[in-house]
Amino acid sequence: MKQQLINMLTLQDKMNTKVHADWRSQNYAWYRAIWTECAELLDHHGWKWWKAQTPDLPQIQLEIVDIWHFGLSILIVNNNDIQAISEEICEQWSLEQPSTTFPEAIESLAEHTLRTKHFSIPLFCKLMSLADMDQDELYRQYIGKNVLNFFRQDNGYKEGSYIKVWNGKEDNEHLAEVIQIVDPTASDFQQQVYDQLSNRYPTI
């Protein structure tokens, strides 16, 4: 578990550095990204009592992975020692949380984030458990999304020229399909995911 955490923290640092070389000192509102993702997560689960809605589990899990990206970023900003951060996460990973519904768990994380501008590992883990995710699944999907984020940057995301919807599906949906067909234990897992996305991406 600890090695997976170190790998994810290291990749997050690399991704953030790709966006801005001195990202730690930019005072980005990571907490704002988290509560906004919480709203998107709730939409994928469904909350409208006046219409029929079915939770979209693959998209729910991808939104949870997005929240994890921003949570890791907060942790790195507050403590630049990746080894120490991984130990802190391990200590908090299994802390018990009260029984709750999935929408209430989302709101608890959003409320805590808005109030503290920090990231709660226990509240995040509660979301994971309610979405049928364990740490191995988080790791697999995080690596996939990290590749997508690099893919976006390589194809003009920051400049505004990136195409997010391909053949009627958002890139997140394509990613969800790709990581189901690529072997996560392969030594070149990241490269295979990148290549699969490249094959699907529309050429102008």
- Rounded to an integer, what distance in angstroms lies between the CA atom of residue 119 and that of residue 116? 8
Q: How far apart, in whole angstroms, are the C-alpha atoms of residue 17 and residue 39?
A: 27
Could you state, in order of their start, the residue ranges of all structural domains in the chain? 2-159
CA distances from 149 to 16, 61, 184 (A): 10, 16, 18
Query: What tokens appear for 128 in the block?
Result: 């994971």
In one-letter notation, the amino acid at residue 5 is: L
Q: What does CATH list as the number for 2-159?
A: 1.10.4010.10
What share of residues in the chain are helix, strand, coil (percent, to 5)?
A: 70, 0, 30
156 touches 146 (CB < 8 A): no
What is the pLDDT averaged over residues 111-117? 96
39 or 203, which is more confident?
39
- The pTM assigned to this predicted structure is 0.82
User: Confidence class of residue 108 from pLDDT cuts 50, 70 and 90?
Assistant: very high
d(CA 43, CA 192): 30
Token pair, residue 78, equals: 């507050």
| Nearest C-alpha neighbor of 125 from the set 108, 111, 145 | 108
Q: For residue 99, give the amino acid letter.
A: S
Mean pLDDT of 170-183: 88
Digit-coded pLDDT (tens) for 72-106: 999 999 988 899 999 999 999 888 778 889 999 99
Q: Is the pLDDT of residue 24 over 70?
A: yes
Instruction: List Cβ neighbours of 188 (8 Å cut-off, separation of 6 or more).
Output: none
